[in-house]
Chains A and B, each alone.
Chain A
Amino acid sequence: MTELNEKPGTRVGRHTGTVGPGPLNGSMQTFLSEVQSDLVQGMLSPRVLNDPELHQVELDRIFTKCWVFVGHVSEIPNNGDYLLRYVGEDQFILVRDEQGEIQLLFNSCMHRGSPVCRAEKGNSSHFRCPYHGWIYKNSGDWNGAPQRARAYRKFDGADWGLRKAPHVDSYQGLIFACLDPDAVSLREYLGDMCWYLDVLLGLNEQGMTTVGDPHRWAVPSNWKSGADNFVGDAYHVIALHQSLEEIGVLGGDVARGVGSNFHVALDGGHGLIVTHMPMPEPLGYMGFPPEVHSTFDLKGLDADQRAFLDADHGVVGFTIFPNLSFFRSFGATEPGKPPTTFTLLRQWQPKGPENFELWNWSLEWKSAPKEFNDAAYRAGVSSFGPSGIFEQDDTVAWAGGPPTGRSVFARKTMKFNYQMGMEGMGDYAIREDWIGPGTVSTTPWGEMNQRRWWHQWADRLMAQ
């Protein structure tokens, strides 16, 4: 006896699914309004660093609405190359399909939700669910199922491909995806950050490539602590990274912001820390020695971008809202050894409100000599990454967020201070003569970028 719920001839339901945030409840709305008005006073409730309800709202209103970094084009060079990647806490397959298009496929079979891909990386033309054997092309399209002729005679495969990100695009090698069908373009989302990505990553046709696999490790802290640090926190270097100065790996003048170390705040919550200082020997132009910078070809850049490159801005960190950061700096693996310049991408992957995974990619210039790239890789890994002698200490500092954020006492009595650089607080001021886009400060002793990042966060959570 055939079991049928529908009358014969009834159209079997098509599942398109829509992405739209659920409504905020009243108390959440009240709290976020307070966050906005607190920020104007340079204050922030600790609750933002550990609240399960708030965390769900972030997943719903930030990670399904913003463009989120999912990988670098050099990680999937060939058709069929795939990686498992995350948007918020959801696992996706980042894959270059048979047409060479980059797709971001939700790793869950449309039949019962089993993962169709269980290796982190590889090459495959299809993904087959282990449970009942449904098969999908690497474009995400439904491609068949066992016993199809008898089991799925009136089945329309076009409706049952893997769910996928409606938008995937890249800029200067960085692949981003957006789960919101109505999103603005990636270029519009990045806005003025494109100008800086050009001067940091677009210095020749070959561009940069990732080295090895990313570091991944579990940090007992809220993901926003990392984003907050890299968007503008030059202040912590003096105290938290003092040990590096003491053993001679970090020059004291660098830590104290001698030269000019300043902020660039951009619309959209993105922000940079830029350092203007002459590079130590043997480093030169933009922190790269002659055998590297002689391979740069700047014809795609405009006059202002070239002026930026000509002006010794070799140390740069940034955060692209919400959770991608970047750091380029010079460093030596041991005192007395010549420094070299390394370039890192880092992502703060949320894992609940109390934990995140830190992903750290090393980038190298395809055009640079192997000796330079090898030395740069070692310098990067010895400074940042799980064993990095800088980053080890950051993980300890950030661990304070979750216990404070969950504390009833803290929520009643405490606001974090975000007032550095506010009117009259210090000598931090807005610089008028900057050659690039953005609002630029005169010194690093302010928290303009962090305040703007948190404003963006609150605005995104409250958006209708």
Chain B
Amino acid sequence: MTVEQVITALPSVELERSCIQFLYREAELLDNTDYSGWFETCLSEGLEYRIPIRTTRVRTSRDAEFSTTGFHMTDTYGTMRTRVNRLLTEHAWAEDPPSRTRRVVTNVRVRELGPDTAEVKSYLTLYRSQGDTTEYDLIVGERQDVLGMEDGAWRLRSRLVLLDHTILGTANLGVFL
């Protein structure tokens, strides 16, 4: 690959910056437990959100570690609204009192798919602690997102969360990844 080819393969600075800022803003809203703000400003109505189940396989296995049929979450815009509405009630016990979360989003790679679409891959390290304890859970994985530009702002059209866990080390997925 020549230097010129590498440069053309890179996303523009503006594109990359705007996608990274989208991920940071999303993390901020969720860490601040502003679920409505996240739902209303970050999600596209065409959302497809999936977390496939992972199993341990031998290196030579022809089968992938990530299931194509089994999911920890397989959600749409409508089912996300159900989840957010539930969190806003006074009886969503899993997140009330809320977890103290910190979403560390790194290793962002952006690829332009079209004039208003971008593929954005990122690593997520989610720290979660809840209640009167020093204990915490870590949820770690890669997110493979497709963002779409809608009315001048990026929105999440699809997210595939590839977890670094076969057995989830947290009592529930009451938090969004």
Contacts and interface: CB of A to CB of B under 8 A. Distances in A.
A binds B: yes
Among A240, A249, A389, the most chain B Cβ lie within 10 Å of the Cβ of A389
Given A213-B70, A216-B167, A249-B82, 17 more contacts: A119-B58, A120-B55, A120-B56, A122-B58, A211-B70, A212-B70, A215-B72, A218-B167, A243-B89, A243-B91, A247-B82, A333-B76, A333-B78, A385-B72, A387-B172, A389-B82, A395-B172
Nearest to B66: A213
Q: Which 9 A-B pairs have the closest CB atoms?
A: A212-B70, A392-B94, A217-B168, A387-B173, A212-B69, A392-B172, A243-B91, A242-B91, A395-B171
Interface of A: 118-122, 211-220, 240, 242-244, 246-247, 249, 333-335, 337, 357, 362, 377-378, 381-382, 385-389, 391-393, 395-397, 399
B72 A121 contact: no
A382 B75 contact: yes
Contacts of A378: 74, 79
Interface of B: 51, 53, 55-58, 61, 63, 67, 69-76, 78-79, 81-83, 85-86, 89, 91-95, 166-174
A59 B177 CA distance: 36
Given A392-B172, A393-B94, A217 B75 contact: no
Contacts of A335: 82
Contact of A357 (B63, B94, B167): B167
Contacts of A249: 82, 86
19 contacts: A119-B56, A120-B166, A122-B61, A122-B63, A211-B70, A216-B167, A240-B93, A243-B91, A243-B93, A246-B89, A333-B76, A362-B70, A378-B74, A382-B75, A385-B72, A387-B51, A392-B93, A395-B94, A397-B93
B80 to A, nearest CB: 9
Given A119-B58, A381-B73, A220 B94 contact: no
A177 to B, nearest CB: 21
Given A213-B70, A217-B170, A333-B78, A389 B57 contact: no
Contacts of A385: 72
Contacts of B93: 240, 243, 392-393, 396-397
A212 B53 contact: yes
Contacts of A377: 74
B167 A217 contact: yes
B171 A218 contact: yes
Contacts of A382: 75, 79, 82
B94 A333 contact: no
B56 to A, nearest CB: 4
Given A213-B55, A381-B74, A386 B82 contact: no
A213 B168 CA distance: 13
A233 to B, nearest CB: 16
Contacts of B55: 120-121, 213
A382 B81 CA distance: 12
B83 A389 contact: yes
A360 B66 CA distance: 17
Contacts of A399: 171
Nearest to A391: B172
Contacts of B92: 243, 392-393
B70 A247 contact: no
Nearest to B83: A389
B174 A392 contact: yes
B86 A243 contact: yes
